[in-house]
Amino acid sequence: MTHAEDWNPTVYLNGEWGLLSEARIPVLDRGFIFGDGIYEVVPLYAQADGARLPFRLTQHLARLERSLGKIRIDNPFDDAGWRALIDRAIQENAGPGDALVYIQVTRGVAKRRGHAFPAGITPTAFVMVGQLAFPTDAARARGGVAVTAEDKRWLNCDIKSTSLLGNVLMAQYAAENDALETIQLRDGLLTEGSSSNIWIVKGGVLLGAPRGPRILEGIRYSLIEELAREAGIAFEERDITEAELRSADEIMMSSATKEVMPLTTLDGKSVGDGRPGAVYAALFDAYQRAKAREFELIRNRAKQGA
Ligand code: PMP
């Protein structure tokens, strides 16, 4: 899918559908004033019949519910409600190619600016279909460039908050260094990328930083565990030191928009032999099989429901 600058999807905002260019929120929306909101990004895969199917939607909606709960915003919809909105957003913006669904909920519009939660406020809800191009085969074959930086974010990184300034600065740092991702370190330990989870391979074992407040648990975290099991790759969730990162045989990132992607250069040095590794290749294949299985399941359910 091309990244047309005139992309102007029909979006959902607080009960109404209209063009993105026309969508408006009041200035006192807590999302604008305080970054007081939660979001999700769900990948949509183009199918041979022209449909676009979400991958791991159930898990994304569960994380949305968890994130909202952690900052005490009432979820404006149940799963069925969100699914109906997402289905409609996909229908309204039908077209070729892969895409994504962006969901955002903020605490709502306050009457005046003040930090503490206003009483009796209704959350703002927004759903948009966005453009998405997954990494090309050529980009995967080369692998991505990564740089490292100190993780200076707050210690609630497990909340998928729209307060993303720390992540924004890290992504900008990558862009200014012609890198795909910035890998963050806190107290000498690997945390995660600016918008991805990071995995390393040492002696054939796949390692992931511990789940907890220092990282966002990607929807791909449990998925990678499943894929590793399926591919017969040993996996350990544990602290990863900077020295281990720098001497890793393989490094890869995972996210909704990159799937699993090899990182073959770290701070200007080759990772392993400088080429995507065998563990990456096995996980990538297993990822494609997992997608095929899930899409088959969605199609079968739709047939039964029809
Ligand atoms: N960590 C951060 C900070 C992220 O922004 C993302 C992307 N949402 C991830 C990890 C990966 O999460 P997911 O697999 O759900 O895309």
Across the range 14-39, mean pLDDT stands at 98
What tens digit of pLDDT does each residue of 265-294 get? Answer: 999 999 999 999 999 999 999 999 999 999
Q: How far is the CA of 219 from the centre of ligand 1 (A)?
A: 7
| pLDDT at position 44 over 60 | yes
Supply the pLDDT for residue 3.
54
What tens digit of pLDDT does each residue of 134-143 get? Answer: 999 999 999 9
Supply the pLDDT for residue 305.
84
The Cα 105–Cα 282 span in angstroms is 36
Residue 262 Cβ contacting ligand 1 at under 6 Å = no
How far from 37 is each of 120, 243, 305, CA to CA, in Å? Answer: 16, 36, 35
Rounded to the nearest 5°, which phi and psi values hold at 159?
-90, 125
Supply the pLDDT for residue 2.
46
Across the range 237-260, mean pLDDT stands at 98
Q: How many CB atoms lie within 10 A of CB 178?
A: 8
Best residue for ligand 1 mutational test, from 152, 190, 191, 216 (most atoms within 8 Å of Cβ)? 216
Residues known to be catalytic: 160
Residue 197 Cβ contacting ligand 1 at under 6 Å = yes
* Cβ-contact 259, 56 below 8 angstroms: no
Residue 56 Cβ contacting ligand 1 at under 6 Å = no
Q: Are strands 181-186 and 144-150 parallel, antiparallel or unpaired?
A: parallel
Supply the pLDDT for residue 148.
99
Across the range 150-174, mean pLDDT stands at 98
Q: What is the pTM of this model?
A: 0.97
The percentage of the chain sitting over the pLDDT mark of 70, rounded to a whole number, equals: 98
Ligand 1 atom with least separation from CA of 41: 8
The Cα 55–Cα 57 span in angstroms is 6
Buried b (16+ CB within 10 A) or exposed e, 51-64: bbbbbbbebbbebb
The Cα 232–Cα 245 span in angstroms is 22
Q: How far is the CA of 192 from the centre of ligand 1 (A)?
A: 9
What tens digit of pLDDT does each residue of 69-115 get? Answer: 999 999 999 999 999 999 999 999 999 999 999 999 999 999 999 99
Across the range 145-159, mean pLDDT stands at 98
